Structure 1
């Protein structure tokens, strides 16, 4: 009996030691994962790297940018790379992704599904991809991934930021001006964010320069405050430039000074009088349908087309008239005698009238209508006519 017991002890002792070692390793892994989960869930400001190496594998996070404008969707990808020259099997036992901003979780993904696969030598595969978050407010964010790769705990993370952006921009009365003329400019601000922002403007410094020097400056004092809702634009002011005498391209700039200093720039093209185009190579067209539904609102545009495939046109359109009539009775008329300068690239067209900007039309009477467009360019005229049906 004692001999059997002694033999059993000799046999079981190394087995018990082996089992104890395995359990010890697993327990240590569980403790490590547990501690990481405490960091993962309990401390959103923990600093983590976007890449880590586990044996022959590298795990890393990638995104298209680190700074997003409020309202832009973020993108977030997790990759696995096989660093070795051999095929490698891998197992992912758990995968958690969390995006945190201002101590608040804004995106969570968790799975306990086991992923088993093989990756080619010196190759990379995509593990997870997410794109979204267009309603993120401004602030700092951290995306963190916790995963179990081949029994080892991996914690990686990447910081990114959402920022509000107030962007100034111009609209010009003309595509170009003729030497000796002035240009009328409208200044706007665009709120590219999900926040309502108060913008205080003390003054605007306007300037015109060429490649060598500043030619003129002018200060405009405003002392105004604009309250801009999310994703909106606001009119700031109108401005007329000083006369520009010599042909060429000039940089027009506006420096806005206030609680946010901003600068907007654009190019003003000044054309020699001899460079003004006549009607040669120009025609008019429209996207007005040939058939419209009665009592259904319809809108259309009128285009000035440059049929010259080699040369751009600088056109001064002196007047525009649009008429729609039925049985010689005018149903609609638009007329403008305000000159407008259009630059039309070779083989392209430029919109010169948009009915939607004024009103949508409704043809209540069934029948045939006449559509006429007449433009005056210098001492010459171009016309366009078509018939369309309302049914």
Structure 2
């Protein structure tokens, strides 16, 4: 009697815990991206985002000028505080900090503990205290600056500089408009074409319909990377080459199998009585499609629109292939990857902020249409 309808399962708590665990697993990467986006770029390189609330041990270098040396006994002495150096003012604005280690060479910047005395390669000694006070002694007058490497504990720094760098970068506004120019038509065109094809495959009888449905399903598993070069050669042959029209058609072709499959499965599950009644009343296929099928298929259309828009907006590969390489045609993903981060990823510290700037519009689209997503995906799966 454990399967009586209406009785709650004793393992319902396990289901709830599993759902919460899955939600947390999905949220953890997003949370890490958000935390990293408001951290200082130098601190991002030192510790992971989960250690963001804790102080960060960072390595610095200052140069003690020989002009600051003063005669003392049989030699010369330079005294000062490494935390007062103007180059490190943003890390130690009030001169407060804790030195955890120091060194005399860049290869080993933390080889000595605070308070120890280190030998300089040019002769003389160096000592750095925990509060940053240092003393350099030399037997002869110094002619070159002395480099002091030290590691200090720095408090966590929250900043919006990463967002300012991304939003104020030259050409970002044009890249945003280019992304809209690509994403909106590349979402609308496949929906318009696929809706007609899906209706035909769902409600019109003609020879070869089953073969076409099988072909659409087969195209779902074909990697788009296989078609990039042949498709680009075709575009060059017909004269559209690398252009907005070319990338619209490319995204249309790549998104068409999923669009037809999703819409056809939804339309075939609509009540047959409605379509047959409309045909008895003399409605044509076009009238049935525009006045009955399309309004009833809005959840499926919205579900595919979400998938297609997110895919096109976040696309990098297709944009690199089918758009000109000049800055006037760059979309946001190309702008971020090529200009902001660099071809070698040298400025990767702003990647988290750039990602949040890039996903702002997709988030608005998703949360606007998300109530239709599950309905559109599950419709047609059961009777």
Q: TM-score, normalization: structure 1?
A: 0.21
Which structure features the higher share of helix residues?
Answer: 2
**Relative contact order (alpha carbons < 8 A, sep ≥ 6): 1 or 2 greater?**
2
When Rg is computed on C-alpha atoms for both structures, the one with the higher figure is: 1
Q: TM-score, normalization: structure 2?
A: 0.22
Which structure features the higher share of strand residues?
Answer: 1
